[in-house]
Structure 1
Amino acid sequence: MGLLTAFVGFASSFAVVLHGLAGVGASEAQAASGLMALSVSMGICAIVLSTVTRLPVSIAWSTPGAALLASSGAVEGGFATAVGGFLVCAALIVVAGLWKPLGRMVAAIPATLANAMLSGVLIGLCFAPVKAVAFDPRLGLPIVLAWALVGSINRLYAVPAALLAFIGVLAFGVDIPAGALAGLADSLLPRPEFVTPAFTVAGLVGIALPLFIVTMASQNIPGIAVLKVNDYTPNPGPLFATTGLFSLFSAPFGGHAVNLAAITAAMCAGSDAHPDPAKRYWAAINAGIFYVIFGLAAGAVTAFVSLAPPILIEAVAGLALISAFAASALNAFREPESREAAAVTFLVTASGVSLAGISGAFWGLVAGGLMLALARFTARRRA
């Protein structure tokens, strides 16, 4: 179960991470370094937390956060500014774990608006599979069909199947220069790239704050809920703070954020991991070991992916996010009284418009919050 958890966690969303880091200005080498730093950090974090707590604490990178980066676009100051935002986000996660008022403030953000912001971030990437088929049906269609057919049997394996189809398309449908294959062999050794961070207002407001909110609301808080559903009673604060510390370690090497896992947490915490609930933490420990191994191969993974037209790996990333988009959109528009505010949040975020160098995700949350506050103020006046 540990190996399966690591494979599903890595294979199903590494494309989103690469696309997100590239979206905020990372070079191929910096994106590979970020992927490696994230995978190694979350692997060690899972090993440490699961060993200390004797709970199946699964750790993941922030997939919604990577999707946020992809939709934000390059920030003024380049990737160094984005890394500065990653560091601030990590520090906020540590503070949220140690200082309860900040944790309560995050929990107080209306779930409908947080989900509307997330769905607005995700929708652009979810268009990628359709664009890939239109770009070249011979290349895009096998990826989509593999995802659909395998997903109809077992949703857990849908994205890994799409990834295998991508590899097949790349091997048999794309002309790869011989020199590129030689270069692939050179990338087998891990090469961390240290990035000197730059701290700006645009990086703080456009990267750090939305990344913090989406990571806490879409990953850390649901991760605690998954453990509780499986009859475990973790203390959330230390877990949040520890993921923030490991995010601090990975940020200077290009990693945006690590956090508690949700989907893979259910794999390690469920009865399939072990009949005895007291021994299931070994699944999370083993997953951490394999995450470290996969992370050390991140350079080769990134170099291999770069051989294909970008739209194809974007298609894999988009397929990986469809279920997350569906869930966030459903939760965003569930409540009638906040539906209009959620719609404003979604539309402003999805527009991709940046104002004053700050991404649309932040402005979407602000616009939706103002609409919700106005609606509640009007309702009180009428009462």
Structure 2
Amino acid sequence: MFKIISDFSFSALVAGFVAVLIGFASSVAIVFQAAQAAGADANTIVSWIMALGLGMGATCFFLSLWFRAPVITAWSTPGAALLATSLGAISYADVIGVFIFAGVLTLLTGLSGLFDRVMRLVPLPIASAMLAGVLFQFGLSIFDAMMSDVFLVSLMLIAYLMAKRVFPRYAVLFVLLTGVVCVLVEDSSLDLGAIPFEVGALVWVWPDWNMGALLGIGIPLYIVTMTSQNIPGVAVMRSNGYQTPVSPLISWTGVTGIILAPLGGFAFNLAAITAAICASEECHKDPKRRYIAGLSAGCFYGLAGLAGTSVVALFSVFPATMVAALAGIALLGTIGMNLKNAMVDDVNREAALVTFLVTVSGVSFGGIASAFWGIVFGAVCLLISNTKRKQPV
């Protein structure tokens, strides 16, 4: 406890809050679509949000505390998108069975240690290039949002540039406050008092086992979560100097998914986008004190889960352009750092560039996300170039 108090910093607390804000606001609509596709009613949808919030809160807090690193978890956004389009006519109990099955596969992957061993073989320039490719679209979203609301986004960007010169550790908080004030001034009809503040209720449903659904939906849910979420999540930690063992992290997300699946916790994984905010230099200059951001995110995720519908209603008040701009601005430093790490080495530059381009392209072969294929293509380029160099002249 005394160690936490001495390591506490307001900038890390803010980083955790911003991570939760962006994590919820950027993709909660997709979770709603997935829940509706599963046949969930209004009360069950609230249970999904509660289970996801409490699961992310517990894993963020306790894993960050145990490993003294900013371990940020999230729901699987690609997994939610997959569910929204793939569930078809199966029963809700069958859907719960799919969630548990995917969680068991994740747990087995963590216990085997295979994922950890594979990730240790990936060179830092390749991992950094892949991560830069994953985050690149968020940087572009600043200017996509600017086309829709040039005044709001321009003001937020100017606020960031000014704050970086004066108080860089609190730049993202300054951007958030600037956006909120601007929205409140622009829209005088905005009534925050109309948002209901209440605790939701959890809804438990026992699973059924539909073999077709387990294979046809459960395995793809596991694959997209591992390739598009966990691989970039590990890359975030490695690129920021954290050598936290991956296998226990993967295992605990699997356990969390199995336990909370009957309540609507469809898939948990290591975060990439929000983790980049908590693991960056803007969180704290000292990497050893950034775990406070993980504790902060855990607390805010837990509160968001308990609040359920209230939090969703609060996030829906602010325009999508503000959320998109906040996410992109918060990740500018991380994108730049990873591009630098990817291209600084002459030996690996070409392979890293291929990794970056494949990841940015969004290509998907066999239903596996581009982040995975970026690493594969980059590794092949690196292997070929190294073989060529070793040949005698």
TM-score with structure 2 length normalisation?
A: 0.70
Spell out, residue by residue over 1:329-368, the C-alpha distance to the aligned partner (whole angstroms, 9 max, x if none). Answer: 1112122122112111111211223344443323322222
For 1:277, the equivalent position in structure 2 comes to none
Shift of 1:108: 0.8
Superposition pairs for residues 1-383 of structure 1, below 5 Å?
Answer: 4=10, 5-12=12-19, 14-20=21-27, 22=29, 26=34, 36-45=50-59, 48=62, 56=68, 58-61=70-73, 69=78, 74-75=81-82, 78=85, 94-95=107-108, 98-174=111-187, 182=194, 184-185=195-196, 188-190=198-200, 199=217, 202-219=220-237, 221=238, 225-226=241-242, 238=248, 241-246=251-256, 248-249=258-259, 252-254=264-266, 256-258=268-270, 264=278, 288-289=298-299, 291-297=301-307, 299-382=309-392
Identity of aligned residues (%): 26
Amino acid at match of 1:257: N
When residues 342 and 20 of structure 1 are mapped into structure 2, their CA distance, relative to the original with a 3 A threshold, is farther
Amino acid at match of 1:160: L
Q: Distance in 1 between matches of 2:138 and 2:231?
A: 19
Q: Distance in 2 between matches of 1:27 and 1:143?
A: 34
Spell out, residue by residue over 1:96-150, the C-alpha distance to the aligned partner (whole angstroms, 9 max, x if none). Answer: 6543454222211222222211111111111122222222223222222333322
Contact 2:20-2:297 at 8 Å conserved across structures: no
When residues 169 and 32 of structure 1 are mapped into structure 2, their CA distance, relative to the original with a 3 A threshold, is farther
- What residue ranges of structure 1 are gaps of 5+ in the alignment? 229-233, 274-279
Q: Distance in 1 between matches of 2:178 and 2:114?
A: 47
Amino acid at match of 2:17: F
Shift of 1:156: 2.9
Contact 1:246-1:258 at 8 Å conserved across structures: no
* More moved, 161-170 vs 16-25: 16-25
Q: Distance in 1 between matches of 2:100 and 2:160?
A: 35
Q: Distance in 1 between matches of 2:26 and 2:294?
A: 27
Q: Distance in 2 between matches of 1:86 and 1:129?
A: 34
Shift of 1:193: 8.1
TM-score with structure 1 length normalisation?
A: 0.71
Q: Secondary structure of 1:109's partner?
A: coil
Q: CA RMSD in A?
A: 4.6
Spell out, residue by residue over 1:165-208, the C-alpha distance to the aligned partner (whole angstroms, 9 max, x if none). Answer: 23223322237577x974x32x6434668898862665444443
When residues 200 and 175 of structure 1 are mapped into structure 2, their CA distance, relative to the original with a 3 A threshold, is farther
For 2:92, the equivalent position in structure 1 comes to none
- What residue ranges of structure 2 are gaps of 5+ in the alignment? 37-41, 89-94, 208-212
* More moved, 317-326 vs 348-357: 348-357
Q: Distance in 1 between matches of 2:35 and 2:392?
A: 55
Amino acid at match of 2:58: I
Q: Secondary structure of 2:72's partner?
A: strand
Amino acid at match of 1:323: G
